[in-house]
């Protein structure tokens, strides 16, 4: 469906950066299947929005090939550069970009009205299609309302309707939920996901919010400094981060440096400063490799009383406890380090209590050191 090969986009650097070119997107390749929602996830400045804008045609890449449904939209080698307004893609902007001088209906009708005369539907067809798409996003009762009178969530749905009215082969979404308040964002997330799955929309979704990325996508690509760090299904990326950056960016992790001491079946014995860990991993490590063990705090169990010393069960002492409603976070001192453990709200251990820190196997992922 969408194919991006070796996409490069540079910007002129500022004076401080020595007037060189800054690689905002540094050789990205990706593939999105029909009906799939593909998410570009990363911190600000990682190049995710620039990638999306290159696909949209709003930025001109320096190199690479972009094609949608077999049609080449950009190719440096073949000197193909289809302008944004001829690509026929739908896009939802971060600010929604609702035109304030038009009402709801006029906003949605615009993409159909500006089609070349030969392809333009008749007036009644336009009206019908506008009504249909407004019904899909549940705005049909507001069609003659001035666009600026809509609430944030309604504007969001209007932007979606406008992007969908052309029935584009590909929908681009640039942090569409980031301007909504937390509660509404949760609702819209499900709403958007339902619509995407029901209508079979192929989409590229840009966000810096890992929760959004995990909840919505079929595939997540974590980006860093203009490159894709890891691509995979949300669960795989979460449970098997391939680098420290990914483990840190998605969810929270405790990072424990160590050295591989032995391979035991499908697990590795890792020696750390504070004790032994037995970590299951598919990756190939050699004995003596420096590694980082990333341990998810929600799979660390605390029990009062200290009988630590065994692998994956360390002795520690609670330093800080904070009640977060659904869960209780504990910071536990173990030897020289502090570990974070996220317990269900029934477990609440006061500070200065000796505890046993038990790592469940699913807490772990094993990452090569030095990244």
Partner 1 sequence: MVAVAERSVQARGEALRRLLSARNLIVLLVAAAIAYLALVPLGFLLWQTFVRGGHFTVSAFRDAYGAVGLGTMLLNSFVFSFGSTIFALVIGTALAYLLVRTDVPGKSLMYAASVVPLIIPGILHSISWTFLLDPHNGIANTYFIQKLGFGAFNVYSLPGMIFIEGLHLAPLVFLLMVASFRSMDPSLEESAIMSGAPMWRVFFRVTLPLAKPALYAAILIMVVRGLESFEVPAVIGLRNHIWVFTSRIYDALHALSPDYGTAGALAMTLLALTSLGVWWQSRLGRRARAFQTVTGKGFRPRPMPLGKWKWPAVAFILAYFFVSILLPLLTLGYASTQLYYSPPTHYTLTHLTGANYPSVFHDPLFQHAVKNSLILGVGTATAVMLMCAIAAWVVVRTNLPGRWLIDNLAFTPLVIPGLVLGVAMLDVYLRLKWLPIYGTLWILFIAYLTRYMPYGMRYAATSMFQIGKELEESAMMSGAGWFQSFRRIVLPLLVPGFIAGWIYIFVVSFRELGSSVLLYSPGKEVLSIAIWQQWQDGLLPQLSALGVMLVGFLVVMVAIAYKLGARIGVRET
Map tokens 């996409």 to a residue.
7
CB 250 within 8 A of CB 42: no
Would you count residue 115 as binding partner 1 (CB under 8 A)? yes
Q: How far is the CB of 34 from partner 1 (least distance, A)?
A: 21
**Minimum gap (Å) between residue 298 Cβ and partner 1:** 38
Instruction: List the structure tokens of 303.
Output: 């029990």
Q: For residue 243, how far is the Cα from the chain centroid?
A: 16
From CA 33, how far away is CA 198, in angstroms rounded?
16
Q: Does 25 sit near partner 1 (CB under 8 A)?
A: no
Only one of the segments 95-103, 195-203, 306-314, 345-353 lies at the binding site for partner 1 (rule: CB under 8 A); that segment is 95-103
Question: Binding to partner 1 by residue 84, rule CB under 8 A?
Answer: yes
Tell me how far, at minimum, the Cβ of 257 lies from partner 1, in Å: 41
95 belongs to the binding site for partner 1 (CB under 8 A): yes
Q: Could you tell me which stretch among 159-167, 190-198, 229-237, 348-356 binds partner 1 (CB under 8 A)?
A: 159-167
Q: Does 149 bind partner 1 (CB under 8 A)?
A: no
**Count of residues engaged in binding partner 1, rule: CB under 8 A:** 32
d(CA 55, CA 52): 5
CA distance 81 to 141: 40
| Binding residues for partner 1 restricted to 212-251, rule: CB under 8 A | none
279 binds partner 1 (CB under 8 A): no
- Chain positions 29 to 58 lying near partner 1, rule: CB under 8 A, are 56-58
Smallest gap from Cβ 84 to partner 1, in A, equals 4
Residues at the site binding partner 1, with contacts judged by CB under 8 A: 56-58, 78-81, 83-91, 93-95, 97, 99-101, 110-111, 114-115, 159, 162-163, 166, 172
């Amino acid at each position: 469906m969408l194919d991006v090969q070796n996409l490069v986009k540079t910007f002129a650097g500022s004076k401080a950066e020595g007037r060189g070119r800054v690689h905002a997107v540094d050789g990205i390749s990706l593939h999105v299947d029909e009906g799939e929602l593909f998410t570009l996830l990363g911190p600000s400045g990682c190049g995710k929005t620039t990638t999306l804008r290159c696909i949209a045609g709003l930025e001109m890449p320096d190199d690479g090939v972009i094609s949608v449904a077999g049609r080449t939209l950009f190719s440096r080698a073949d000197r193909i550069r289809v302008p944004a307004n001829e690509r026929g893609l739908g896009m939802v902007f971060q600010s929604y970009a609702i035109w304030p001088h038009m009402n709801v209906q006029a906003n949605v009708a615009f993409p159909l009205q500006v089609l070349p005369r030969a392809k333009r539907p008749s007036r009644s067809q336009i009206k019908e299609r506008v009504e249909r798409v407004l019904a899909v996003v549940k705005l049909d009762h507001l069609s003659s309302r001035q666009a600026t009178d809509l609430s944030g969530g309604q504007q969001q749905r209007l932007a979606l309707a406008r992007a969908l009215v052309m029935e584009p082969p590909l929908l681009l979404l640039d942090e569409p939920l980031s301007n909504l308040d937390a509660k509404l964002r949760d609702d819209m997330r499900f709403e958007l996901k339902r619509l995407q799955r029901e209508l079979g929309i192929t989409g590229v979704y840009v966000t810096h919010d890992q929760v959004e990325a995990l909840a919505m996508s079929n595939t997540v690509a974590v980006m860093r400094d203009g490159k894709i760090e890891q691509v995979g299904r949300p669960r795989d990326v979460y449970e098997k981060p391939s680098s420290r950056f990914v483990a840190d960016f998605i969810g929270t992790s405790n990072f424990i440096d160590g050295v591989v001491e032995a391979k035991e079946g499908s697990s590795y014995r890792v020696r750390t400063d504070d004790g032994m860990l037995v970590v299951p991993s598919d990756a190939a490590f050699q004995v003596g490799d420096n590694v980082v063990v990333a341990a998810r705090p929600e799979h660390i169990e605390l029990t009062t009383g200290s009988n630590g010393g065994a692998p994956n069960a360390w002795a520690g002492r609670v330093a800080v406890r904070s009640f977060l409603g659904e869960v209780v976070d504990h910071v536990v001192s173990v030897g020289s380090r502090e570990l974070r453990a996220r317990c269900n709200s029934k477990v609440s251990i006061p500070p200065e209590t000796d505890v046993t820190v038990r790592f469940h196997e699913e807490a772990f992922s094993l990452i090569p050191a030095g990244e």
